[in-house]
Amino acid sequence: MNDDDYSATELGSHWFQGPTPDPTPDRVEGEVLRFGPGVTAAAARRAENTPTAAQIWHGTLPGTPPPRRPRSRWPLRYAPAAAILLAVLALLAWREYGPRVAVRAVEVTAPAEPLDCGATANVQALVRTDGRPGTLTYHWERSDGTRSAPLRETVPRGRSEARLHLLWTFEGRGTHQAVARLVITSPTTHTAEGTFTYRCE
């Protein structure tokens, strides 16, 4: 073939193969190059829905009800002690704030022998109660028209009687038939009286 007969033919670009360029990374984070789509959202959801060893160990798997705690036996254990305590408190409250003292009987004792000139009569009253605590309110009335101021006697618990006294002094000559009357006004009304003689010649 002569050089004159030679002619250059244009070759297609696919006949030439140059060096393959490096792939371009999707994104750059610091010095780490990441290629491809990475972890997809579906894969992340599957990872979240997969139970871990810690969840299996502690029994906290999704959808699994928490373990039941054993019921406390505290109410049954302390019920007898609580009942006894309530009974004691009720008894103390009843004794402190329950019914008060009640008078059963009243008796007045005066001197049996006549009084001499200038003597003092000791008139005694015995009040019998039911043994409950409380206060007696009373006064004395004398046959000479005098009356004492209201008096009070406190009766402690367990004592079933109270003794009250009236001292009555006489002066002058003559004979007098004296009457001393006890009047209890509280908690209930009761009366009793005693009689004695004063004689001075």
Residue 133's nearest CA partner among 159, 107, 152 is 159
State the Cα–Cα distance between residues 97 and 5, nearest whole angstrom.
143
What is the pLDDT, as a whole number, of residue 8? 45
pLDDT for 53 beyond 90: no
pTM of the predicted model as reported, rounded to 2 decimal places: 0.53
pLDDT for 57 beyond 70: no
**E strand map for the chain:** 27-29, 32-34, 103-109, 120-129, 134-142, 151-155, 161-169, 174-186, 190-200
CB 198 within 8 A of CB 178: yes
Say which residue, 71 or 102, is predicted with more confidence: 102
State the Cα–Cα distance between residues 187 and 184, nearest whole angstrom.
8
Consecutive H or E run containing 72: none
Domains (range + CATH), the chain = 103-200 (2.60.40.10)
pLDDT for 83 beyond 90: no
CB 105 within 8 A of CB 128: yes
